[in-house]
Structure 1
Amino acid sequence: MSQTNISVIIPTLNAGTMINDLLTCLEHQSRVPDEIIVVDSSSDDHTRDFVREHPQVRLLVIDRKDFNHGGTRDMALRQSTGEFVLFLTQDALPKDFGYIASILEPFADEHVGLVYGRQIPKADAHAAESLVRSYTYGPQSFTVTLQDIEWMGIRAFRASDVCAAYRRSAYLQVGGFEDPVLTNEDMFIAARLLHAGWHVVYEAKAEVIHSHNFTWKQQFKRNYIQGVEIERHRDILGDAPLTGEGLSMVGYTVRHLFRQGRILEIVRFIIDCGFRYVGNRKGKNDAKRKS
C-alpha cells in the first residue's frame, strides 16, 4: 500500500475559514497523499487564495451552476491519478495525522471497493446532533457484503463522501457517480458496488471532526432532496423502508437525552425529526408523481 498512489479530492464553496487547516492537516499525515485536488465552485471569498498558498495542491475552478454532487466528483476523480481516491468535504477535518493510513488499511483486502470513516461531532454540536452522530458512526468497524443486504436493508448502503475512499478499479467498473444527482451519490454507488460483488467497509479508526446544527428549514430541504433521489433509485436500493432505521435513531437519541435531563432538547429534536419526515415524504411523493 505504501507504494500506491493516493489522491485526495475536496469540493469547495466559500471554504475560506476552514480550507487552510484542512490542507495543512493533509500535508502532515503519516501517509502523505501523492496529490490533492481542490474543486472550487467559483467561491466569492478567499478560498482560492488560501489554496494557492499550498503549491502542491491542484486547483480546479468550475462555475457554481455546474456543481453536481455526482458529476463534479466524478470529473475530479477521472482527472486524478491515484489507485485509491479519497473524498473529503471542506468542513471535515481529520482528527489526527493517521487518518489517511487508517482509511486505507481495509483495502489490504482486494475485495474492498469503498471505505468510509467515522464522523465525530464538533465541540459546538447540539446535544441531539452529537447523539445522532454517535448512533450513525459508532466505535466498531464492520464490513458489508452482498449477502448482508437482506438483513441490513437500507443500512447496507450507508456511506458518506464526507470522508470516504474508493478503489479506482472498483469505482470505474460500476460506472462511477451519476451525473446529475442532487445528493446521496455515496449511497447509490455503495449499492452498485455491493451488487457487483465488492465489499464496503466502515472504518471507525479513520475519524474526522464533522457535524451540522441545521435549522428546521434546512432539515426539511435536505430531507426533501434525499426523498426525491432515494425514490428515483429504488431500482438499486430495493424496497427497504427508511422509517425503521429512522425510528431506531430517534429512540436512541431521545433515551440518551432523557437520561441527561435535556427535556427541552428532546422537544426540539422531535420537532426537528418532524421536519425531516415531512420533507422526506414530500420528496418521495413528488418523485413518484413525476416518474
Structure 2
Amino acid sequence: MASPEPSGLSQARVKLIVPTYNGGAVWKACAQSIADAVAASFAHIEVLVVDSSSADDTVGVAAAHGFAVHNVDPATFDHGGTRNLAAGIGPAPDILVFMTQDAVFDAPLALDALLHAFDDQAVAVAYGRQLPHRDANPLAAHARLFNYPAQSYVAGAADRATRGIKAVFASNSFAAYRYTVFLELGGFPEKSIVSEDMYLAARAALAGHKIAYVAAAAVRHSHNYSPTEEFRRYFDIGVFHHDEAWISQAFGGAGGEGKRFILSELRYLARNAPLWVPRACLHNALKIIGYKLGKQYPMLPHAWRRRLSMHKRYWAP
C-alpha cells in the first residue's frame, strides 16, 4: 500500500544529479535504485547524469534507465564547479538533489523522505542517512554509524554552541538544496578540493536558513579505504579547512569531533572486531598527520601537494 502523499510534493519539480566516471557494478545498482525511487515518488523528478568520459558502460546504463546524460571533459571536473554546471542545465527546479554513483537507495521511498524536509520553509539543505555497504569492513561500518545516527534533526547557526561544526555538516552523496537559496548563495565554490556540501550548508546557516538531517532517507554508501587513502583524503580535508577557515571560525573546529570519533571507534571495535584495533590506530594516526599537513599546505612545494592529495587533478595548473 502506497504511503500518503507528503504535503505539496506532487507540485515539486526536482532535478536529481549524479556525477559519474566508470561507475561499474555499483553504479548499475545505484541507477536501478534511482529508477525505482523516481517511479515511487510523488514529485516530478528529472535525472541528469554528468559523465566524465567513462570508458565502461556507465553512460549506457544511464540511457537504459531513461536518464539524461551530459558529458564533460574529465580534465575540467571539479566537485563544486561541475555540480554548478549541472544545476544550470534545463528548466529550473524547486529542489536540487545530488547523489554519487556509489550510493544506493536503501528503499525507494527514501527519496521522498528527503524531499519532505522542504515542507519546512526554513530548511534550505537536507541530507540523508548513509548506511554501510554490505561489504563494508568494520572501520567503514563504524564511520557510517557514528556520522549518520538514527535520529533526525534540524539545525542552524543558533545550534553552533551545542552541535559545533556538525551543525553545518552535509554530504552530496545524498543531499538536496532549495533551488532559490542555492541561487541566492551562488551555489558551490567553483573550485573545491572536497566538502563543497559543507561550504554551502555553512553559508546557508549564516544566512538564516536551516539544515535538516533526515534519518529516514537512507542510502548505502561507504568506502573500505586503505591507510594511504585515508591519509590522502584527510590531507584534502585539511586543505579545505585552510582555504575556508571562516567555517571553523564561525562553527568551531573538528578537533573535538575527532576525539569523540576515535573513542567511539575503539569501543565499537572492542565489541565487534577487536583484531581491527591496531589497523584503526594506524588509520587514525595517518588521518591526523594528513589533516595537519593539509592545513599547512601553502608551506609545501607544489609537487608535494599533488603527491599527498587524493584529488590530484585539483592541483593541475
Fold agreement, TM-score > 0.5: yes
Number of residue pairs aligned between Structure 1 and Structure 2: 288
Q: 2:99 matched to which residue of 1?
A: 88
Q: 1:42 matched to which residue of 2?
A: 53
Would you say the 8 A contact 1:117–1:203 is kept in 2?
Answer: yes
- After TM superposition, the structure 1 = structure 2 runs for residues 99-118 of structure 1, keeping only pairs within 5 Å, are 99-118=110-129
Question: 1:69 is aligned with what amino acid?
Answer: H
Q: What's the secondary structure of 2:11's corresponding residue? A: coil
Whether 2:132 is the aligned partner of 1:121: answer yes
Question: After superposition, what is the alpha-carbon deviation per residue over 1:233-265, rounded to whole angstroms, capped at 9, x for unaligned?
Answer: 0123316221210110110110121123x3320
Whether 2:84 is the aligned partner of 1:74: answer yes
Whether 2:230 is the aligned partner of 1:219: answer yes
Alpha-carbon distance in structure 2 between the residues aligned to 1:187 and 1:34? 24
Question: 2:13 is aligned with what amino acid?
Answer: N
| Runs of 5+ unmatched residues, structure 1 | none
TM-superposed CA distance for 1:275, in Å, is 1.0
Would you say the 8 A contact 1:6–1:86 is kept in 2?
Answer: yes
Q: 2:159 matched to which residue of 1?
A: 148
Question: 2:266 is aligned with what amino acid?
Answer: V
Alpha-carbon distance in structure 1 between the residues aligned to 2:21 and 2:146? 29
Q: 1:191 matched to which residue of 2?
A: 202
Per the alignment, do residues 94 and 101 of structure 1 end up closer, same or farther by CA in structure 2, a change over 3 Å counting? same
Question: After superposition, what is the alpha-carbon deviation per residue over 1:24-63, rounded to whole angstroms, capped at 9, x for unaligned?
Answer: 22222221652100000111111112222223x1100001
Q: 2:13 matched to which residue of 1?
A: 5
Q: 1:62 matched to which residue of 2?
A: 72
Whether 2:255 is the aligned partner of 1:243: answer yes
Q: What's the secondary structure of 1:17's corresponding residue? A: helix
TM-superposed CA distance for 1:23, in Å, is 2.3
TM-superposed CA distance for 1:289, in Å, is 7.2
Would you say the 8 A contact 1:231–1:287 is kept in 2?
Answer: no
Would you say the 8 A contact 1:6–1:34 is kept in 2?
Answer: yes
Q: What's the secondary structure of 1:9's corresponding residue? A: strand
Q: What's the secondary structure of 1:205's corresponding residue? A: strand
Question: After superposition, what is the alpha-carbon deviation per residue over 1:77-117, rounded to whole angstroms, capped at 9, x for unaligned?
Answer: 11143211110000000000101110011110111000000
Q: 2:286 matched to which residue of 1?
A: 275
Alpha-carbon distance in structure 2 between the residues aligned to 1:52 and 1:131? 35
Q: Tell me how large the CA RMSD over aligned residues is.
A: 1.5
Alpha-carbon distance in structure 1 between the residues aligned to 2:266 and 2:247? 32
Q: What's the secondary structure of 1:207's corresponding residue? A: strand
Deviating more after overlay: 106-115 vs 43-52: 43-52
Alpha-carbon distance in structure 2 between the residues aligned to 1:10 and 1:18? 13
Alpha-carbon distance in structure 2 between the residues aligned to 1:16 and 1:232? 33
Whether 2:165 is the aligned partner of 1:157: answer no
Alpha-carbon distance in structure 2 between the residues aligned to 1:256 and 1:181? 33
Whether 2:32 is the aligned partner of 1:24: answer yes
| TM-score scaled by length of structure 2 | 0.87
Would you say the 8 A contact 2:10–2:44 is kept in 1?
Answer: no
- The sequence identity of aligned pairs, in percent, is 32
